[in-house]
Amino acid sequence: MYIICADLEGIFVPEIWINVAEKTGIEELRLTTRDISDYDELMRGRLEILRRKGLGIRDIQEVIETMDPLDGAEEFLKWVRDRFQFILVSDTFVEFADPLLKKLNRPTLFCNSLLIDSGGMIVDYQLRQRDGKRHVIKALRSLEYTVIAVGDSYNDITMLNEADKGILFRPPAKIRSEFNHFPAIHLYDEFKDELKSYLKN
């Protein structure tokens, strides 16, 4: 049985932190896992910026509530879920994801969580488990699923390596070049074509 595991941001919705950067004017927050491969380094930097600028959880949630799925994402995701088992596997946080999941008709999401103080400031983050994306794939394969994994960033690579089939979706040029053993696609129609071959098996 096939199961699709896909990242969320950059695949179905815009990058949250880039939108926060644009709304707040804080250019440092534009950095994502497409730019920095060490996730802890990236998140520690983000939390320090939020602390310095006095931005709390509600400031970020207000930005997220204005965001919509990428063009074509809802239709494509419905097509996938009508034909395959599907899980979003993301390094985002429960406290961020809900408005976006609602707009995508609430697919299953495995992600992380934030530690928030009584004043609404984000003081730390908590991984569900280290290298959690890879562990999801490993667990599903141990249940005899054939796993097709889709991502676009450095933090997706171990997931793609662990899967039976790894696919890069709209990767930046440096990731495409560095990990060119994975097929790279840029359109949802290409994504459909890639998956249709599995429907015949």
Catalytic sites, residue numbers = 7, 9
The residues near 33 (Cβ < 8 Å, ≥ 6 apart) are 39, 42, 91, 153, 154, 155, 156
Question: What angle, rounded to 10 degrees, do the helices at 94-103 and 57-64 form?
Answer: 20
Q: Where are the alpha helices (DSSP H) in the chain?
A: 16-24, 39-53, 57-64, 73-81, 94-103, 132-142, 157-162, 173-178, 188-199
Distance of alpha carbon 108 from alpha carbon 45, whole angstroms: 29
